[in-house]
Structure 1
């Protein structure tokens, strides 16, 4: 089973490197990572000892019952290992612990691998957002109720 830990400012360089294969418009700058680390968010990472293998950003709003999965990234070398599924489950557990009843996210309409992952976890498409991304691609808005017990309580 994967071990996830909260990201720290010391991880910013590794977080930036983890996203290096992304299109430029989808990458977070070091400044954005610093802002996210100091905001009302949870940033989880896993590492192989040499480099980060995954990262996820969850955003929370005060008094809101909906968490937003802002980003989830798995290193190319770790894809297909079940890490993304474990990371998503961990994000859901943290959101439940913070009192959230739902998790929402946006995903590129052409990202079939991610869409399948989310659907396997019980996410359903709520809407399509036209030209959502800077390059003009549409996004699917997905949501999942976070009812039931967290993995620790089962």
Structure 2
């Protein structure tokens, strides 16, 4: 597997993964293009490739001393193989390079697997956004201080 920066040419594959991973609240292609338009100024997006096929993507927004995980998605048949962890490590490293001292994210309250992954990476729950997602599901707000050597 290899990671590289996402480009506009990646959007057809990325949008297929987006729609299959987040069927109830998928971003539009226009939203994703808007994110890419802010690279590298305030955004950093990567794609994960296996045998030259995009199997995942992830991105952050970073400004001043704070970063936010915008999205992480992996094709279903590649989940649990380390693809998501590799992308999250890349995002954490990029946030640190950009001078962020902490990184935030929202995760669905009904997704215990993703919550466990983030806890494993040193994130802590700091709040709740009620009915945050389009289907009314709550979001758990999580934060990790960067430079914490106790996390993977």
Pairwise CA distance, 1:43: 0.6
TM-score, scaled relative to structure 2: 0.90
SS at match of 1:104: strand
TM-score, scaled relative to structure 1: 0.89
Q: How does 1:15-54 map to 2 (within 5 A)?
A: 15-39=14-38, 40-49=42-51, 51-54=53-56
SS at match of 1:90: helix
CA RMSD of superposed structures (Å): 1.4
Pairwise CA distance, 1:65: 0.7
* Residue segments in structure 2 that go unaligned for 5+ positions in a row: none
Q: How does 1:84-99 map to 2 (within 5 A)?
A: 84-99=84-99
Query: Partners of 2:124 and 2:58 in 1: how far apart?
Result: 20
SS at match of 1:110: coil
Q: Deviations over 1:54-111 (max 9, x none)?
A: 10010123xx211000100011111111111111111100100011111100000011
* Residue segments in structure 1 that go unaligned for 5+ positions in a row: 150-154
Pairwise CA distance, 1:50: 5.3
- Count of paired positions: 146
SS at match of 1:24: coil
8 Å contact kept, 2:47–2:57? yes
**Which residue matches 1:152?**
none
Which aligned runs of 4 or more in structure 1 are off by greater than 6 angstroms?
A: none
Pairwise CA distance, 1:48: 2.1
1:100 matched to 2:100: yes
Query: Partners of 1:101 and 1:83 in 2: how far apart?
Result: 25
Query: Partners of 1:69 and 1:134 in 2: how far apart?
Result: 19
Query: Partners of 2:148 and 2:118 in 1: how far apart?
Result: 18
Greater strand share, 1 or 2?
Answer: 2
